[in-house]
């Protein structure tokens, strides 16, 4: 789960995966489907994740490896 702090549309990837589960599939998504989902992640989302890493690492250091507000 990605933090609301980043304002990233978690639903975009989750919706694709959840739709697959609704059709009664118990096996993992095929690689081709995962690749399509991965390639459709917007560059702005990736950039926000990358730019948030220093804050995330700082939070992990401060919590001594424990829980942080980031999920």
Q: What is the pLDDT of residues 30-49, one digit of tens each?
A: 888 888 888 999 999 999 99
The backbone region for 68, taken as left when phi is positive above 0, alpha when psi lies in -120 to 50, beta otherwise, is: beta
**CB atoms near residue 8 (< 10 Å):** 19
On the question of pLDDT at 51 being above 90, the answer is: yes
On the question of pLDDT at 55 being above 70, the answer is: yes
Domain ranges of the chain: 4-62
Q: Look-up: residue for tokens 């995330």?
A: 56
Gap between the Cα atoms of 61 and 49, Å rounded? 18
Gap between the Cα atoms of 14 and 9, Å rounded? 9
């Amino acid at each position: 789960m990605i933090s609301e702090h980043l304002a990233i549309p978690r639903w975009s990837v989750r919706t694709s995966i959840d739709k697959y589960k609704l059709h009664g599939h118990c096996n993992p998504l095929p690689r081709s489907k995962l690749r399509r989902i991965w390639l459709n992640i917007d560059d702005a989302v990736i950039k926000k994740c990358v730019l948030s890493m220093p804050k995330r690492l700082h939070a992990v250091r401060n919590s001594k490896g424990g829980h942080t507000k980031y999920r």
